[in-house]
Amino acid sequence: MYEDKELVCKDCGKTFVFTAGEQQFYAEKGFQNEPQRCKECRDAKKNVSRGAKEYFTATCANCGCEAKVPFQPREDRPVYCSDCYAKMKAGE
């Protein structure tokens, strides 16, 4: 039903393949337009629009180590370092 297509990236001018699987996915999601950028240019555009993440420093409520988190910690909620958080998620 679908066949791979070669498209040209509007940003860098390289050709890229719009695979049959990607075309089927686009159709299932109801997307009308084909992609205009290659994966590298799409990723670069996403990263620019998101901007740099701001990290905050907090003390882990479990082990007391310093933790860097991508949200503003609140006094009424515990914050965990990545190691302690991973252990809690795993049920240890």
Span 38-48, pLDDT tens digits: 999 998 888 77
Assessment of whether the complete model's pTM goes beyond 0.75: no
Characterize the bridge pairing of strands 66-69 and 15-18.
unpaired
The predicted pLDDT at position 54 comes to 84
Question: Could you tell me the CA-to-CA distances from 11 to 5, 35, 40, 45, 60 in Å, in that order?
Answer: 18, 12, 10, 10, 44
